[in-house]
């Protein structure tokens, strides 16, 4: 929280008044006159602190993100023993927030200002960190960025579908099915890296074992070079810098496809 948003600051009072009106009456209830009256101020105070109504809604979104992230950090384990179960818990928290505070959730998702965008990125970094831990432990079955997108899409889609469905037709099983579909889409049934091991060596052994003999993404020389690197990583030779890769392999790969360092993966 910034110094300008301390609990007794006029700016904080305006934001909290706007959120109260938003959640009790929807977006139409958040007029500058109504917000100023609820905060015990004059309408010019809105323009002085936020510029206009859009600026106020950006501040509301930023405040909402800050509240949510504070709650999420407090409830989630920074080093979970079961990263898949923690993925479920994190997904549930987002969906529960969206279902219990739909108007604020909608404003947060529509916000495009720099402050709310920074808060949104902070939330994404938390998610990406958890996805990275899943990948490091051998749980991910898809690319990390795709996993992040699947997690976001199923959570936001679940909230949107819930609120667009008449109350009498809402079925909580929908959210459970969506969550488990998300888990099945991004994680494996068993990790490729043994739970008792950590670091690059077990990951290298897992990748080396999974490499197909006839992969068409890499040339033969590049595959041999990759296997050599993975073998060295998997060996876990302590306190010794590994020898450089075989000059012959580097030269062959360079002749076939140019310098290794400049090669980009196909899109």
pLDDT of residue 267: 47
Give dist(CA 138, CA 97) in Å, integer.
30
pLDDT of residue 98: 94
Give dist(CA 217, CA 215) in Å, integer.
6
pLDDT of residue 192: 73
What φ, ψ does residue 32 adopt, rounded to 5°? Answer: -60, -35
pLDDT of residue 116: 61
pLDDT of residue 195: 59
Give dist(CA 166, CA 168) in Å, integer.
6
Q: Which residues contact 171 (CB under 8 A, 6 or more apart)?
A: none
The ranges of the chain with pLDDT < 50 are 1-3, 237-241, 249, 252, 260-267
What φ, ψ does residue 187 adopt, rounded to 5°? Answer: -125, 160
pLDDT of residue 124: 86
pLDDT of residue 263: 45
Torsion of CA 107, 113, 116, 119, to 10 degrees: 140
**Whats the size of the chain, residue-wise?**
267
Nearest 5°: CA angle at 59, between 34 and 145?
Answer: 140
Within 13 Å and on the Cβ side, how many CA atoms surround 237?
9
pLDDT of residue 193: 66
Closest CA to 68 of 144, 159, 149, 132: 159
């Amino acid at each position: 929280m910034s110094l300008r948003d301390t609990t007794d600051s006029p700016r904080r009072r305006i934001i909290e008044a706007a959120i109260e009106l938003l959640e009790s009456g929807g977006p139409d209830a958040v007029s500058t006159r109504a917000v100023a009256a609820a905060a015990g101020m004059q309408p010019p105070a809105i323009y002085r602190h936020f510029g206009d109504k859009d600026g106020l809604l950006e501040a509301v979104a930023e405040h909402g993100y800050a509240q949510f992230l504070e709650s999420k950090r407090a409830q989630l384990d920074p080093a979970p023993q079961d990263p898949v179960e923690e993925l479920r818990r994190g997904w549930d928290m987002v969906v529960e927030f969206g279902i219990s505070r739909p108007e604020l959730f909608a404003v947060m998702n529509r916000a495009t200002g720099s402050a709310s965008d920074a808060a949104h990125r902070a939330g994404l970094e938390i998610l990406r960190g958890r996805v990275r831990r899943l990948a490091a432990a051998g749980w991910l079955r898809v690319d990390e960025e795709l996993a992040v997108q699947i997690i976001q899409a199923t959570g936001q889609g679940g909230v949107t579908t819930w609120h667009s469905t008449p109350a009498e037709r809402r079925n909580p099983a929908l959210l459970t099915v969506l969550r488990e579909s998300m888990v099945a889409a991004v994680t494996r049934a068993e990790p490729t890296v043994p739970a008792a091991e950590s670091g690059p060596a077990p990951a290298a052994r897992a990748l080396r074992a999974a490499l197909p003999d006839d992969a068409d993404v890499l040339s033969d020389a590049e595959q041999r070079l990759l296997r050599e690197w993975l073998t060295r990583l998997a060996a876990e030779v302590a306190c010794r810098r590994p020898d450089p890769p075989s000059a012959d392999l580097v030269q062959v790969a360079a002749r076939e496809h140019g310098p290794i360092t400049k090669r980009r993966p196909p899109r």
